Each structure stands twice: as C-alpha cells, then as structure tokens.
Structure 1
Amino acid sequence: MTAHEEFALWRIMKGYFCGCVTAAILLLIFLLLLSGYFSEATDRPAGSIFVVFMVTLVLVFFAYALSILPVTLILITAEMFHIQHWIFYTLSGALIGFWITIVIDGQVYSLFDLASFMSAGALAGLVYWHVAGRHAGRGRWPRF
C-alpha cells in the first residue's frame, strides 16, 4: 500500500500528531532558553532530563487541546479543496500559534511569546505538510 492509497484519516492523524510533537519540542526549547537552562553557570539536578521529558509531554497535551478546533477546520478545508502547498500549512500554523497566544490570557505579553508560539505553529504546519499535507485530497476514507 503506497502513501497515496492509505486511509486519509490515518494520514491526517499521523500528521497532526507529528505537528503537535514538533510544536511542543520547539516551545520547550524556547522555554529552556528563557529559563537559562543552556547557560554554563546553571547547576542541573540529576533528574533534569526526566523533568524535561515530562514537560514535553504536558506541552504535547496542551498543543492538542488548544489547537484541535482550528486545526480541524483548516484540515477539512485543505482536504476538500486538495490544498497541497506548503505555504498554506506553514501560514495556517503561524496563525494558529497567534490565536493560541490570544486564547491563553487574552493578550500578548511580549514579542518573545508571540515569536515562540507563531514559530512553533509554523514549524508544526510545515511538519504536517511533510507528513500528510502533500497528499491532501488523496487516499481512501474508511467506511463506517
């Protein structure tokens, strides 16, 4: 079974998962940069890798929870109109990142917040395109 013949729903779910993990990892990197984790003077406890892993899992959960509605609307539109261009997914991800910064607190506190969420969304959109968006509108839909 080739990539074009697999179920479209499986392709979309796989791409969405990869996009959320990508956004979470990029947000974690921004969070660690903000906290000074990568500086030479920081003493790291022995279990810090486990804590970083757990924070990544929490960020993946929040990426899923906060983006599920706008992503669903965008992906339905992309599948219906066979939109396969990477710019559409990258810009959609950046717009969802901007929307999430507004939803979290009702305002944007700093340019760093805006840049981190929009770049995480844009990279997540690009990863989604690479995994699933290149084949939008193709594939079979399962019969229920």
Structure 2
Amino acid sequence: MKIHLTSVFVDDQAKALRFYTEILGFVKKYDVPLGPDARWLTVVSPEEPGGTELLLEPSGHPAVKPYRDRLVGDGIPLAQFAVADVRAEYERLRGLGVVFTQEPTDMGPVTTAVFDDTCGNLIQIATQPPAPE
C-alpha cells in the first residue's frame, strides 16, 4: 500500500493553483471540470511527476471552515512538504512574498518552518537529516 493522493482544502482553486505552481514550484497534473464551481485539480512535485498527488480541493463543505479555523488558530499545519534546506527555501519563499508564521526552527534532527498558503491553510516545510548508512 502507498499514499497516492492527499488533499488540502482551498478557498479558490485558481488562486491555489497559481500559489502551488508559481510560488511553491509544483506542477499541475490534472485539471478536470466537475461542474460550474469545482475542478479535480491536482499538482505533483516536478521531482516525482508520477508520485503522490496533492488535490487542491474546494472548501465548500460546511465542516471545512470550523476545522481549518481551529487548525490555523492553534498554529497547526495542515500538511508538511519536504525540502532539501528549510533555511534556503524560507529565504526564497519570503522573497516571493510568502508569509511565515514560524521561522526556521531546529527541532532535534529536523528543521521546520510554517507558512500561510494564502488559501486558508498553514503548511510546514521540513528538512530531515540523511538516513544513516
């Protein structure tokens, strides 16, 4: 078994697509209309185009708003993305106007930072040390 798809709820799919592709660097994989107000819209890492897809899912369900409001209010990221160097990615993203709620922080062997994805979510980036040989 493996993870094939996961999702983040977004307020505006077009805005989310721009942020996740133009700012974060993901690549659009699927964009299928699902009626007048929604699309099956996924992105993938350019490093793994056949890897796990991230669905930019419309946030219209009534349970989404209180769920996300509580997560954001408590400072809890909805998702985590791996990066080679959190500090370098933090500087790159800040230079593109991304707002961080947590600057790079060393947490034992892992370094993390948290940013606002402009679509209603907090996202964490993390760098882990290489696996022992």
TM-score w.r.t. structure 1 length?
0.28
**Bigger CA radius of gyration:** 1
More strand by share: 2
Higher relative contact order (CA 8 A, sep 6+): 1
TM-score w.r.t. structure 2 length?
0.30
